[in-house]
Structure 1
Amino acid sequence: MLMLPAMARSSCERVIVSADPAYPPLHWYDGKQLRGASIVIITRILTDLGLPYELRYLGPWKRVLYAAKNGNIDVITTLKITPERRSFLIFSELVLNNPVAAFVKKDRPPPFSKWDDLIGLRGGIARGNRFGSVFDEFMDERLNVREADNLETAFNMLLANRFEYVITGYHVGQAYIASANIDDKLIALQPFLIDSQNLFGFAAQSPCIAYLPAINKQLEKLHKEGFIERALAQARADWRKTPIIGKN
């Protein structure tokens, strides 16, 4: 069956939602469905607003971004703002904070107090990760950073001394460390590299963008109620109990 892109629709009959399938506890794919804190938050909001929705697993993160860029989905939940993403997404208000950290081996942490302290060290990131325009520019121009296929691989390379640090969101890094039972081997350097905000990103051409003001209002309400923090805490517990990322 031919699937028309979201931008071709004249009305928002349902909100098509997708997410990075390997970024727990914010969002992940367990082999059957998308799960995580951001999924709980967006579905709660859409339900409260009486908007039908579909959670759509699309595969790797870059494919999710491509689908939003081409109008095949309505919203990505959640991600950081970058100049490139601004060219095809319209962002919500704050959903949750996701500080970016450099993770290192606990038995050999390098001296660290500022970004420049990472210069000259061998770093790693998961493929496709970006952290905001200011730090991304610094990373690209000043740091020796290589991409690994995914965060699990990057952490294994860190443990094998092929990397000296791995940059990722603090929440996802902590989730992987906990699920792999390597809490005693890896730590996040302090201070955080950046205190990054994660937002919903709506495809700019989606007819569902008309509901963004109402979604922002619901976000404000859920923040005041403490729902966001509770969803994040529950997602951490769920991931630690069943740390599985599935594939079709």
Structure 2
Amino acid sequence: MARLWLLAILLLGCTANAAEAVRYCDHPVYPPISWSDGKHMRGIAPRVVQAVFASLGLDAEMVVLGNWKRCLLDAAEGRVDAVLAYRTPEREQYLAFAQVPVLREEVTVFYNRRHPLQVERIQDLTRYRGGLLFGESYGEAFDEAVARAGNIEWVSDSKQNFGKLIRGRIDFIAHERRTGLLYVEYLQGGGDIRALPLALAVDHLRLAVSRRSPLAARMAEIDRELQRLTDSGEIERWLGESEATYRDMIVQPEPRE
């Protein structure tokens, strides 16, 4: 009988722990924000997410899907609890966004110097072939302009997109300046890739919770922890560490098991 009681207690404990897990979805193709080393998700995004939810007494389960659009769809349906994303009116219908941002990001245009662009404003991009990732949004003005022009080829990952730009199959990529510049540093043919001074959008990446998740009722707690991490300088320090880790990984990749 004692053994049965012990087994019951253990099973209840496992059930309670499972209930405390938070499903965080990411598409890890944005160093130093998030990327995969082939075995684990790395970057500042998973680090911030784990720290925030740990402060709430919750474990973060990292979920990686085929593309960013899948993450957003699963968040809308409540199959995952949280994502790190830009806030847009459309996304606010199914996501509750933290008021305290994680990072400020500038979106710009990357091009191949062998095929220079004549671009001074967003509308000028409609003359060229662009490449974007499924589910991405780069500001209302840009989104509307490319939707009307129909000049975008959609792909699942940044490596494919930058590869097409290097080979001249597309003329430009809209991408975060910080992550794009870091990504092409060690990319074969990346020496031909340049970024325009033009900023398509300046926005902030925010931790967002599915409105179908119980966590949506705890946004005030999430904001308090994000504010603490910001004020303490932890997020800025983690960003620098993430950049250094990515560069080290590229120069000396970890052995695969």
TM-score normalised by structure 1 residue count: 0.83
What percent of counterpart residues are identical?
29
> Is the aligned partner of 1:70 residue 2:73?
no
**1:238 alignment partner AA:** T
Does the 8 A contact of 2:133 with 2:156 survive in 1? yes
Counterpart of 2:96 (choices 77, 85, 90) is 90
| Secondary structure class of the residue paired with 2:102 | strand
CA distance in 2, matches of 1:119, 1:61: 24
Bigger drift between 193-202 and 124-133 goes to 124-133
RMSD: 2.4
Distance of aligned partners of 1:135 and 1:152 in 2 relative to their CA distance in 1, 3 Å threshold: same
Separation in structure 2 between the aligned mates of residue 47 and residue 54 of structure 1, nearest angstrom: 11
Match of 1:172 in 2: 179
Structure 1 residue identity aligned to 2:22? V
The answer for unaligned runs of 5 or more in structure 2 is 1-18
Partner of 2:210: 203
Among 29, 39, 47, the residue aligned to 2:54:
47
Moved more, 90-99 or 121-130: 121-130
Looking at both structures, which has the greater relative contact order when contacts are Cα pairs under 8 Å and sequence separation is at least 6? 1
Q: Secondary structure of the residue that 1:66 maps to in structure 2? A: helix
TM-score (norm 2): 0.81
CA offsets 1:98-150 (integer angstroms, 9 cap, x no match): 21111012344323332133231222222332223332112212462222342
| CA shift in 2, pair 1:130/1:41, >3 Å | same
Q: Match of 2:132, SS?
A: strand
> Rg: which structure is higher?
2
- Matched with 1:146 is 153
Q: Distance in 2 between matches of 1:107 and 1:152?
A: 19
Q: CA deviation at 1:81?
A: 2.0
Task: Structure 1: state its 5+ residue gaps.
Answer: 1-11
Q: Is the 8 A contact 1:62 1:128 kept in 2?
A: yes
1:236 aligns with 2:243: yes
CA contact 1:100–1:194 (8 Å) conserved in 2: yes
